[in-house]
Amino acid sequence: MTEPASRPVSRRASRAAQRASRDGAWNEDPPDSLEAVAAAVAQCRRCELWRDATQGVAGAGPASARLMLVGEQPGDQEDMAGAPFVGPAGRVLDQALERAGVARGQAFVTNAVKHFKHEMRGKRRLHKRPDAGEVAACRWWLEAERRLVRPRAIVAMGATAALGAIGRPTPIAASRGRPFDLAGGARGLVTYHPSMILRVPDAAAKAAAFAALVEDLRLAARLAGPG
């Protein structure tokens, strides 16, 4: 799997990030470029998750991508690498995208929460689901990415991603496969998170969940239109 290259950050963007990354009002000095978003995420203090994370992880992909994929949060490997979906869940996503006929390099891939929330179990860092307050705090960055990229279709992978992208709790199994309108003209879709597929113990159920993810990504590509 090819990891996305880190986005360079200029001194100007870094200074702007210091202003934007604190606890300002929702629309106060919103970042004006993906570079500025990446710089500000690196310095974000909007919730307490930054204290135990290695770094903030902004989205990666073309600034003009027609398709945006939203996950929950960086995992252990993403936290170390500073890039989204480069660990085990990323490999599942890559396989599903390939099966769906979607080039990952044409999608903007990000997360609803930009820092890795975890708990220590011995020397291991185990994933903990972000709470609603942390998702709400991080919507500043997700909305900035969405406003700058202006995708035609947004796929929320998992319940946390749906809360961040849509703004309300959404049952995934009952809602997947049903496109809906989002503010700003984009079409939305919810589906399973790749990490959920990894956790399914039964082989047949795992295959069915993976097939559903592939089906939803194919639909999202149609909604996004030709590149």
Name residue 126's beta-bridge partners.
119
Per-residue pLDDT reduced to its tens digit, 177-224:
999 999 889 999 999 999 999 999 999 999 999 999 999 999 999 999
Q: How far does CA 41 lie from the centroid of its chain?
A: 13
The CATH T-level fold of domain 60-224 is Uracil-DNA Glycosylase, subunit E (3.40.470)
Per-residue pLDDT reduced to its tens digit, 121-147:
888 999 899 999 999 999 989 999 999
Helix locations, 23-182, DSSP H: 34-41, 76-81, 88-100, 132-149, 159-166, 172-175
Per-residue pLDDT reduced to its tens digit, 13-67:
655 555 555 544 444 567 899 999 999 999 999 999 999 999 999 999 999 999 9
- Tell me how far apart the alpha carbons of residues 110 and 58 are, in angstroms, rounded to a whole number: 6
Q: What is the pLDDT of residue 183?
A: 87
